[in-house]
Amino acid sequence: MTAGDGVRGLFAPASIAMVGATDKSGWSLNTFANLRRHGFGGPVYLVNPRTEVVHGERAYRSLSDLPEPVDLVYVMVPTPAVLDVLREGARLGIRHYVVLTAGFGETGPEGRKREEELTAFCRDHDLTVLGPNGNGFINAANATTPYGLPIPPPLLRGSVGVVLQSGALASSVLAFSQVRGIGLSLLTSMGNEAVVSVTDVIDHLVDDPATSVIALFLESIRRPREFARVARRALAAGKPIVALKIGRSGLASRTAQAHTGALVGDDAVIDAAFRQLGIVRVRSLEDLIITAGLLAAYGPLPGPRLGVVTPSGGASEIIADRAEDEGLELPPFADRTVARLTEIMPDFGSAANPLDVTGYVVVDRTLLSRALRIVAEDPGIDVVLLLSDLPRIEPPDPEPVFRLYENSTRLIAEAPRPVVIVGNVLTDVGDFARTIQERTGYPHVVGGIEHGMAAIGAAVRWSRDRESAGRTRAGSTAPAPVVRGPATGVWAEHRAAALLAENGVPVVPAELAADEEAAVAAAERFGYPVVLKAAAEGLGHKTDIGGVRLGLNSPGDVRRAHREIRAAVGSAGLGTLVQPQRAGGIELLVGVVRDAEWGLVLAVGLGGVWVEVLKDSALRILPVDAAEVRRALGELRGAKLLEGARGTEPADLDALATVIARVGELAEGLGDDLESLEINPLLVDGARIEALDALITWRT
C-alpha cells in the first residue's frame, strides 16, 4: 500500500470502530453524534471492555470481537493503551487509525519516546495514523465525520480542503466557513503528525476531485523539500494553496559575518519560498477562509483591472484605497461605456470607475443589474467587482426577490468578464440568503470590502504568477568550482574575489601588497585614485576596524594608508589589497546564506553601507535562473534606480540577472561546507558589472 492509498483509505472508510467509547467522555459523545447526524452510511462499532451499552447501542469488548474488521479505528483510550490498540488492529488487518489521545511528543521526553515507538510500529506494519493528539477529520464530500467536537448542522459541502496544525482552531475555522457559505470538501486536524503529515494530506487533496482549493494553517514546515514538491504538484494541477503561517515575529540572522544575515530571517525565507511555489500567504484566519472561498467560487482571475459597480459613494472610496494597497487598477471606463452608463444613470450620478449608481437603486431595482451589464462589456476591464449584500430578512412575499436574483444570476453568467460579488461588511450568510442562492444559483458573496479586496488581490496575483511560480531550475550543471585552500573560517577578500573571478563572476582588478612599495607599485599600474583595504584571514567587516581607505590620489596617500591599515589589523594582517576606485553606478548586495530548513537562500538588494539601514531586498530559494532573478530585482523598492532614474544610465538588467544567477550557481557548487557568500557591493553602471568586495564564510 502506497502513502497515497493509505491517506485515501483513511479519509473514506466504509466502516468505523470507536475504541474507548464511553458516555462519560464528551469527545466520544460528540464523535458518535457527528457520525450519526451528518449521514455516515456505514456501521459504527463501539468498543469498551467494561460495559455492554454505550451511547444507547451495543458495545464490544475489543476489536477482535467485532463482527468484521473495520476500515478505520478512532482511538480514545488512555495514552499507555494506544499502542496495544494498534497492535490488535494490525493483527486483524486494519490499516487506518485516528488517535485522539494526547500525552505523546507534545508532553516532553517521555512522551517523545512513546511517540517514537508508535511511529516505528506504524512504519513496520504499514499503518496510516492521523494524530496522535488531534481532533480527527471531517470529510464533508462523503459525509464521514469522525471528529471529536460538535459539528452543527447543516454541514455545507464544497471544494475547499482545510488542513490545520491546530486542534483548538479547527472548530472555529469550520464555524466561520459555514456561516460565510463556504463549503468544505475536507477538514483535518493534524495533531502531532507522527505518521500522516501535512504534506501527505496536501498530496491527497491535489488528487481529490472534490477539492479545488487547499487552505493551510501552519505552525511549522517540518520537511521543506517535501512541502515544496507537493506545492508544485498543486500548482501544476491548478489548485491554489492559501496558507496562514504563524511565527512571523521569530526573525533570526543566519550568520554574524555577512550583511546578508541582516536581511534573511525565518519569516522572510518563508515569504520567498511561498512566492516561488505559488502559495498565497495570508495574515488572518478570516483571510485564509475568505480567500480560499473566493478562489473556489470564481477560479483564476484574468488581470488586475477592476471595474467596480456599487450603490455607495463611500464604499467606492474604500475600494479605491484598498485597490491601491493590493496592486489592483481602477482604469477609466471607455468612452462607449461612459456614454451607455450616462443614459441609465440619474442626473446626479457620475459614470466613473468606481461606479456609484447611487441610492436610486431603491427606486429603480434594475439599475444595478443594467450598470453591471454595461461595465462587464468594457474592453479595458479584466474583472468586475459588484458590491452587493444578500438580504437578511425574508419579506412576506419573497417571490419578487427570487425573480430579481434569478435575473442577476443570468446576467452574471452571461457577462464576458468574471463578476466577483463582495458584501459591504463581514456578516453571516443567513437562512434567507442561503435559500436565495439555493433557488437561483446566485454566486458566492465574498465577506466584506476589507477581506474581499485582499482576496481579490491574492487571486489576481496567483492567477498572474502561477505559470512562472513553481518553475525551478535544476541544480547547477556547471563544473564544480575548484576551491584553493581549506574551506574553513572566513576567507579574506582576495581569496573570495579570486574564487568568484575563476568562476565567471566579474570582479574589480586587485593586487595583494605586502609592503608600502608594493602597494604604490600596484596603484601606479591601476592609475589613481585607488582604494586600499585590509587583507587578513578571518576578517569580516573591514570598515568596522578602519580597514578601508578610499580616494587615494598619490604615492604618499597610498603609503600612509598602508601603514594605518597595517596598524589597525596588527599581526594578523597579510598586507593590503589595492584596487582602482570606481565611481558612479548603483551598488547592490548579492548574498547567499544557508537556511537551516530551506537550504541556500539568495538575497539581492541595495548595497554598500545602506544595506542594513534600508533593508530593501528580495529573497529567493536556490536554485533560480536569470528570469527569476529579474523578477526579484523588480520587487525592490529601489528598482527604479536600475531603470535609469533621474537621467542616470539604465542598468543592463539581462546581464545583471545573468551575473547574479551565476553567483547562485557558484554557491550551489561549493557544496554543504558553504555558510555564506556575499558580494557587497556589486557595482552596476550600465553594462559594466563588477564585484567590488566579497566575503565567504564556511561552516567549519
- The type of residue at 343 is E
Dist CA 443 CA 421 (whole Å):
7
* Alpha-carbon span 613 to 418, nearest angstrom: 43
* Dihedral sign for Cα atoms in the order 135, 137, 143, 144: negative
What does the CA dihedral 642, 643, 645, 649 come to, rounded to 10 degrees?
80
pLDDT at residue 227, as a whole number: 96
- Rounded CA-CA distance 294/213 in Å is 10
Quick check: 346 and 301 in contact, CB under 8 A? no
Q: What is the mean pLDDT of residues 120-142?
A: 97
Q: How far is CA 226 from CA 198, 200, 203, 232, in A?
A: 10, 9, 10, 10
pLDDT reported for residue 610: 61
- Across residues 237-253, what is the average pLDDT? 78
Residue identified by cell 452574471 is: 412
Q: Do domains 3-211 and 308-465 have the same CATH topology?
A: yes
pLDDT at 350: 86
For residue 250, name the pLDDT band (cuts at 50, 70, 90).
Answer: very low
The architecture that CATH gives domain 586-698 is 2-Layer Sandwich (3.30)
39 Cβ contact list (under 8 Å, min separation 6): 143
What is the distance between the alpha carbons of residues 565 and 556, in angstroms, rounded to a whole number?
A: 14
State how far the Cα of 247 lies from the Cα of 418, in Å rounded to an integer.
Answer: 36
Q: What is the arithmetic mean of pLDDT over 312-336?
A: 95
CB 47 within 8 A of CB 18: yes
Q: Which CATH number fits domain 308-465: 3.30.750.200, 1.10.150.120, 3.10.50.40, 3.40.50.261?
A: 3.40.50.261
Cell matching residue 518: 608594493
Q: Which residues pair with 601 in a beta bridge?
A: 593, 621
**C-alpha cell recorded at residue 504:** 565567471
Closest CA to 357 of 325, 1, 365, 432: 365
Q: pLDDT class for 231, splitting at 50, 70, 90?
A: very high
On the question of pLDDT at 254 being above 90, the answer is no
Instruction: Say which range, 207-211, 273-277, 285-289, has the weakest mean pLDDT.
Output: 273-277
Q: Give long-range contacts, CB 8 A cutoff, 24+ apart: 603-607.
A: 603/260, 603/263, 603/264, 604/629, 604/632, 604/633, 604/636, 604/660, 605/263, 605/636, 606/636, 606/638, 606/641, 607/259, 607/680, 607/681, 607/682
> pTM to 2 decimals?
0.91
Domain ranges of the chain: 3-211, 308-465, 511-580, 586-698
- At residue 493, the pLDDT reads 87
Query: What does the pLDDT average to over 11-17?
Result: 98
Q: How many C-beta atoms surround the C-beta of residue 236 within 10 A?
A: 12
The mean pLDDT value of the chain amounts to 91
Does the domain spanning 3-211 belong to CATH 3.30.1130.10? no
* Geometric angle at alpha carbon 89, from 83 and 91, rounded to 5°: 105
pLDDT for res 256: 33
Number of neighbouring beta carbons within 10 Å of residue 398: 14
| Confidence class for position 255, pLDDT limits 50, 70, 90 | very low
Cα 372 from chain centroid (whole Å): 34
Task: Check if CATH label 3.30.2180.10 holds for domain 511-580.
Answer: no
pLDDT for residue 31? 98
- What confidence category does residue 167 fall into, taking pLDDT thresholds of 50, 70 and 90? confident
Collapse the DSSP code of 386 into the 3-class scheme (helix H, G, I; strand E, B; otherwise coil) and give the result: strand
pLDDT exceeds 50 at position 62 = yes
Distance CA(682)–CA(586), nearest Å, equals 8
Mean pLDDT of 41-67: 97
> In 282-366, where does DSSP find H-type helix?
285-298, 313-325, 335-344
pLDDT surpassing 90 at residue 649: no
Q: How far apart are CA 86 and CA 101, in angstroms?
A: 13
Report residue 158 as a C-alpha cell: 464544497
The answer to whether 177 touches 293, Cβ cutoff 8 Å, is: yes
Average of pLDDT values for 4-29? 95
80-109 b/e (C-beta count within 10 Å ≥ 16 → b): eebbebbebbbeeebbbbbbbbbbbbeeee
- What is the per-residue pLDDT for 646? 65
Indicate the residue type of 509.
P
Total Cβ atoms within 10 A of residue 306: 28
pLDDT tens column, 477-524: 667 787 877 888 888 888 999 999 999 999 999 999 999 999 999 999
Classify burial at 153, counting beta carbons within 10 Å of its beta carbon; exposed 0-12, middle 13-18, buried 19 or more.
exposed
